């Protein structure tokens, strides 16, 4: 249930135009809504109140779900919130969602589909999340982070291909680094870029190892271990290829900033 709808309901009870029992009946189906698809039993239970508790809504992970299941879940989110974000959507799932929701934004690199409701079209947080990649091959993970951060109401700036193999490319972007409130650094190979950025800025740095690299990179494990052992104190690390998780962490940080400025 949307925040403004709950607020209207509370006002109605306070003004005597709705009874507490009637309000309770409206809230009885929330925050969890069961979803069925394809004649199957319940395939999902949507947490509609997550945004009220944590500041951003539940997101649909498409991996492991059929197209029919994803569309059914997203339809309920759209009906209740005018918006949804679907991640890790393969090409058939992206096509099915676009057919069902023609106004949605499809990002093939990020493998995301985002239906942006009216409340999501303008940033609600003041701090800029800067997303930097070591190389061009890291961009798909960075794009997942960017779409997620924007869907959660954050201003986002992008800084791609500034890895340590040409460190002057990063040093030439000092203004972008200095103006960010949170920096997400996405890197594969040896995973060194977050340590460099962490030694240059005072704001939180969230490192994302990617599975980019040759054999000894072990599918991102080398970058993950390098980031966990960063010599730059205070760098936070998420899982391999987890741009979504990095954006969630950055949003939580930005929410604190927004509350402090209220």
3-state secondary structure labels for all residues of the chain: CCHHHHHHHHHHHHHCCCCHHHHHHHHCCCCEEEECCCCCCCCEEEECCHHHHHCCCCCEECCCCCHHHHHHHHHHHHHHHCCEEEECCCHHHHHHHHHHCCCCEEECCCCEEEECCHHHCCCCCCCCEEEEECCHHHHHHHHHHHHHHHHCCCCEEEECCCCHHHHHHHHCCHHHHHHCCEEEEEECCCCCHHHHHHCCCCCCEEEEECCCCCHHHHHHHHHHHHHHCCCCCCCEECCCCCHHHHHHHHHHHHHHHHHHHC
* pLDDT of 228: 96
- The pLDDT tens digits of the residues spanning 99-136 come to 999 999 999 999 999 998 776 666 677 789 999 999 99
Mean pLDDT over all residues of the chain? 88
* 85/42: higher pLDDT: 85
Average pLDDT on 7-24 reads 82
Query: What pLDDT is stored for residue 16 in this prediction?
Result: 87
CATH 3.40.50.970 corresponds to the domain 129-261: no
The pTM for the full model equals 0.85
User: In this predicted structure, which of 43-52, 122-131, 133-142, 246-255 has the lowest mean pLDDT?
Assistant: 43-52
What is the average per-residue pLDDT within 15-44? 75
Task: Read off the pLDDT band of 20 (50, 70, 90).
Answer: confident
pLDDT of the residue at 177: 94
Per-domain boundaries in the chain? 31-120, 129-261
């Amino acid at each position: 249930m949307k925040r403004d709808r709950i607020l209207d309901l509370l006002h109605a009870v306070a003004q005597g135009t709705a009874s507490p029992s009637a309000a309770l009946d409206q809230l009885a189906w929330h925050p969890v809504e069961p979803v069925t698809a394809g004649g199957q039993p319940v395939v999902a239970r949507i947490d509609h109140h997550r945004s009220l508790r944590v500041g951003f809504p539940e997101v649909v992970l498409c991996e492991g779900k059929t197209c029919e299941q994803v569309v059914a879940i997203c339809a309920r989110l759209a009906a209740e919130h005018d918006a949804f974000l679907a991640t890790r959507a393969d090409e058939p799932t992206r096509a099915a969602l676009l057919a069902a929701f023609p106004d949605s934004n499809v990002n093939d690199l990020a493998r995301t589909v985002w239906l942006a409701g009216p409340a999501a079209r303008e940033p609600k947080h003041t701090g800029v999340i800067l997303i930097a990649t070591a190389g061009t091959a890291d961009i798909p993970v960075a794009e997942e982070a960017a779409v997620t951060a924007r869907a959660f109401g954050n201003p986002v700036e992008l800084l791609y291909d500034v890895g340590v193999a040409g460190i002057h490319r990063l040093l030439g972007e000092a203004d972008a680094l200095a103006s960010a409130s949170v920096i997400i650094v996405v890197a594969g190979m040896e995973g060194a870029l977050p340590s460099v950025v962490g030694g240059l800025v005072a704001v939180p740095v969230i490192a994302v190892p990617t599975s980019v690299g040759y054999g000894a990179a072990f599918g991102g494990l080398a970058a993950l271990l390098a980031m966990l052992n960063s010599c730059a104190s205070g760098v936070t690390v998420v899982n391999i290829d987890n741009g979504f998780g990095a954006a969630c962490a950055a949003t939580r940080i930005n929410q604190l900033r927004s509350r402090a400025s209220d």
